[in-house]
Structure 1
Amino acid sequence: MTSKKALDLGSLTVIGWHECISLPELGLKDFAVKVDTGAKTTALHADDIETFMRDGKKWVRFRSPDIPGLPQRTCEFPVFTKRDITNTSGTPESRIVIRTPMILAGRRWKIDISLTDRGTMRFPLILGRRALRRHKIVVHPGKSYLVSTKPNFGGPRP
């Protein structure tokens, strides 16, 4: 006989497959993202990615995504790690990963974000399952913007 662990659904936060998040250390507030539990790692569109040394440690400099209503800026972060990640075409690529706070559903925690060229994608950020695990979040695949407000400017639409 198999034992199944019962879930207390009352303690879970249900989010849609499109939501708005904030990345305060990148200056990105309330922008639309695609939530994808099929993706392990969160990926952010970044331009002009370059690494450099600061105080004996590896850092990365990049330009934040161009999101309607938000200023594009140059960001500098310590490199958290480098990972081989399979892109949307199924091709493995080595990516720089940063660790920074995210705000979702009024809650704040740190997530790992890989930097890559998502310029042809509809959303500048894909929120992967590693960012959601251990935070009592489930994704409703048929709903959008359950814990945030749908953008009303010319940004990505579901």
Structure 2
Amino acid sequence: MFSRHLRSAALVASLLTLTGCGLFNTKPNVEEPPVVIEDTEEPITIDEPAVEEPPVMACEPVVIEKEAACPAPVACPTIISGAVTKEGDIAIIGRIEYVDVMSIDMRKKARIDTGAETTSIDASNIVEFERDGRKWVQFTVTDRSSDDMSEVKAPVVRTVRIKQHGVDNVRRQVVELDLRMGTLRETVEVTLADRERFDYPILIGRNFLRGRAVVDVSQKYMTLANGMDNTNEEEVEAPQEVIEQEAPAKQAQGQ
């Protein structure tokens, strides 16, 4: 019996030997952390294309432009009223003034017309003739207040053609006359015209006024000593005539 127990013990020992003593050496199954192997190689550097950054600009100051200064006023000629003027000054005249025709010493009423370029005078009995190879003209100027008539002879400067509605075109001569208005005196071109139907035998145009006078249309006879005229008159003027300048009068050879 003892030997039987001995055999059982030997069998158990054999089983234990085959199992590797797992029953006695069993350890708890603990998961260990993974082992991290550090990379000892140097990092690889990849050269990237250089990107040029814009330079840092300082903010420019904002300039607020000042308004441009007004230009200095241009010195204009002094304007004075009345007949007395000084050298370089400009006179103020009315829409109607008296004008002296110096060559015949005759004073006539004149209408001031800034829309007309050339001065004109009422002339009758116009006759052309030739003198020293030049074309001249003889005409009559009548004083309407006394019916006195004066003859004037002058060379023809040029001729103009007048267009009028319903009337055939007419040709007029242009001469130079010495005219005086108050203290304003000038030799200017004057067109010989038939102004019998007009109230004023002389029309003063821009060629006399330019640089000498300005017109105050609310006044009359400002070049007279008292600036007044006692005559009572109605101002009537026909529409402006259309004037076309023709070639200057032909002169003889050698002139």
What TM-score, normalized by structure 1, do the two folds share? 0.82
Q: Does 2:200 align with 1:131?
A: no
C-alpha contact (below 8 Å) 1:32/1:150 kept by paired residues:
no
Higher relative contact order (CA 8 A, sep 6+): 1
Alignment of 1:4-23 (within 5 A): 5=74, 7-10=76-79, 11-23=89-101
Amino acid at match of 1:144: K
TM-aligned CA deviation for residue 128 of structure 1 = 0.8
Alignment of 1:34-49 (within 5 A): 34-49=111-126
TM-aligned CA deviation for residue 152 of structure 1 = 5.1
Larger Rg: 2
Between stretches 145-154 and 11-20, larger displacement belongs to 145-154
Give the distance between the partners of 1:89 and 1:26, measured in 2 at CA. Answer: 35
Between stretches 34-43 and 81-90, larger displacement belongs to 81-90
C-alpha contact (below 8 Å) 1:32/1:151 kept by paired residues:
no
Of 133, 140, 148, which residue of structure 1 is paired with 2:216?
Answer: 140
Amino acid at match of 2:137: V
Give the distance between the partners of 2:165 and 2:210, measured in 1 at CA. Answer: 21
Q: Does 2:111 align with 1:65?
A: no
Percent identity of equivalent pairs: 25
Q: Does 2:148 align with 1:55?
A: no
TM-aligned CA deviation for residue 85 of structure 1 = 4.7
Q: CA, structure 1 residues 87+115, in 2 after alignment: closer, same or farther (shift >3 Å)? A: farther
C-alpha contact (below 8 Å) 1:19/1:150 kept by paired residues:
no
Give the distance between the partners of 1:89 and 1:37, measured in 2 at CA. Answer: 26
Amino acid at match of 2:184: R
1:27 counterpart residue number: 105
Q: Deviations over 1:48-91 (max 9, x none)?
A: 11110011111001111342136212211111221235569998
5+ long unaligned stretches in structure 1: none
C-alpha contact (below 8 Å) 2:106/2:143 kept by paired residues:
no
Q: CA, structure 1 residues 92+13, in 2 after alignment: closer, same or farther (shift >3 Å)? A: farther
What TM-score, normalized by structure 2, do the two folds share? 0.53
Q: What is the aligned-residue RMSD (CA, Å)? A: 2.9
Q: CA, structure 1 residues 52+144, in 2 after alignment: closer, same or farther (shift >3 Å)? A: same
Q: Does 2:182 align with 1:105?
A: yes
Q: Does 2:154 align with 1:77?
A: yes
